[in-house]
Amino acid sequence: MFGKVIGKRLLFSAFILIAVSLLVFGATLLLPGDAARAILGQQATPERIAALNEQLGLNQPAWQRYLTWLGGLFVGDFGTSSATGGPVSELLGDRVWASFVLMGLAAIISVPLGIGLGVYQALHRGGRRDQGMTGISLVLAAMPEFVIGIGLIAIFATSVFQILPAVTLAPPGEPVWNRPQQLILPTLTLILVVTPYIVRMMRATMIEVLDSGFVEMARLKGVPEKRVIMRHAVPHALGPVAQVVAIQLAWLAGGVVVVEFLFRYPGLGQALIDAVTYRDVQVVQAISMLVAAVYVVVNLAADVVGILTNPKLRSAA
């Protein structure tokens, strides 16, 4: 039963991904200009455009290029980048890892941190610390990521203290994690963007659970307070929070674009901006598919967590 639900979701996800690829391909066709013109820019004389179109294989009709690309996808071939002339997978390989490291670090820190702070606030609700933290998380939640990023750069890299690097400058071929201090500011930016939502959701759900009948019952039965919180309250609050965490993690996959841009971080976000500017359709599609896949997987995971933490659903499964 449980497996069947998951299987259905997986099939549905595949359809979503194909729909996404069609939408993305269509959208890039709507952009004026093509790869050859975008690459040549002001140098775009008819002779050079013709020569480049020939080299890039852009003379084929759009639907043919789409089908070739989709067909390649099934055998794990992401196609050829118009800009580099090389395989897309080669272009994106290092960048996928770089982005993954950034997102992973942000997720590993912000999820437990958000849940912990939320629980803490719920337990001390109405107190001065609770109010202070609520204020801070509201302010942070209201700030766009580039404002937070620029603020951090001004404080820690360029103006107030000059202790951290402002941008990422890993030499080509060297993985970004070889220079950990360059990861601090971008990771911190993402954490500051993502955590407030988790804190606020965790606090609200936790308060609801703490006020519910079964927690009261447990307390009345003389279960120690620590156990009441850890074994009874927190797991119940996690189900709904998993959805928020999922949305936040999925946001990371797309929202990392701005942060990468700001910190010159050599990840997918940068590659995407580049690819859109240069009408490198294959690369735009590959990245869009990756981001869409992250959304699908993360939401799937949230559903599983929801089922596992909900006794009613769990037994039904």
Partner 1 sequence: MRTPNRRQALGAGLAVAGVAGLSACGGGEVGAADAGDPVKGGTLRVGVTGGNSADTVDAHIPVNNGDVCRSVNLYNALFGWDDDSQVVPLLAESIEANSDSTVWTCTLKEGIKFSDGKPITPEDVVFTFERINDPDDPKTAAANFSMLDKVVAKGDRAVEFRLNEANGLFKDAVAEYTAGIVPVGYDPKDPVCSGPFKLKSFTAAQSTVLVPNEYYFDHDKLYLDEVEVLNFNDDDALINALLSTQVDAIAGIPLALVEVIGADERMTILNSKTGMWLPFTMRVDKKPFDDVKVRQAFRLVVDRPQMIEQVLSGYGTLGNDMFGPLSENYPKFPQRKQDIDKAKKLLAEAGYPDGLEVELVTAPIQSGAVESAQVFAQQAADAGITVKIRKVDATTFFGDEYLQWDFAQDFWYTRDFMPQVIACSLAESPFNETHWDDPQFNKVFAKARAIPDAGERRDLEHELQKMLYDDGGYIVWGFANQVDAFQKYVGGLVPNSTGRPLSGWRFDRVWIGEV
- Site residues (CB under 8 A) for partner 1? 31-34, 37-45, 47-48, 51, 55, 81, 83-84, 91, 150, 153, 157-159, 162, 164-167, 169, 171-173, 261-264, 266, 270-271, 273-275, 277-280, 283
- Comparing CB distances to partner 1, the nearer of 184 and 317 is 184
Report in angstroms how near the CB of residue 292 gets to partner 1 at its nearest. 22
- Comparing CB distances to partner 1, the nearer of 276 and 308 is 276
Report in angstroms how near the CB of residue 44 gets to partner 1 at its nearest. 5
Q: Nearest Cα to 285, choosing from 272, 270, 294?
A: 272
Report in angstroms how near the CB of residue 166 gets to partner 1 at its nearest. 4
- Comparing CB distances to partner 1, the nearer of 12 and 161 is 161
Region label for 230, one of left (φ > 0), alpha (ψ between -120 and 50) or beta (otherwise): alpha
Give the span between the Cα atoms of 62 and 239, in whole angstroms. 45
Question: Mapped to the 3 state alphabet, what secondary structure does 18-74 carry?
Answer: HHHHHHHHHHHHHCCCCHHHHHHHHHCCHHHHHHHHHHHCCCCCHHHHHHHHHHHHH
Report in angstroms how near the CB of residue 29 gets to partner 1 at its nearest. 13
Alpha helices in the chain (DSSP H): 2-30, 35-40, 46-56, 62-74, 88-123, 128-142, 145-153, 181-210, 213-220, 225-227, 234-263, 268-277, 281-309, 311-316
- Comparing CB distances to partner 1, the nearer of 56 and 307 is 56
Query: CB within 8 A of 163, min separation 6: which ones?
Result: 156, 157
Report in angstroms how near the CB of residue 269 gets to partner 1 at its nearest. 10
- Comparing CB distances to partner 1, the nearer of 25 and 263 is 263
Give the span between the Cα atoms of 197 and 128, in whole angstroms. 20
Q: Tokens 């404080």: give the residue.
A: 155
Tokens encoding 92: 């994106």
- Comparing CB distances to partner 1, the nearer of 170 and 304 is 170
Report in angstroms how near the CB of residue 81 gets to partner 1 at its nearest. 6
Report in angstroms how near the CB of residue 171 gets to partner 1 at its nearest. 7
Q: Nearest Cα to 297, choosing from 3, 12, 2, 1?
A: 12
Report in angstroms how near the CB of residue 263 gets to partner 1 at its nearest. 7
- Is the Cα dihedral 49, 53, 59, 61 positive or negative? negative
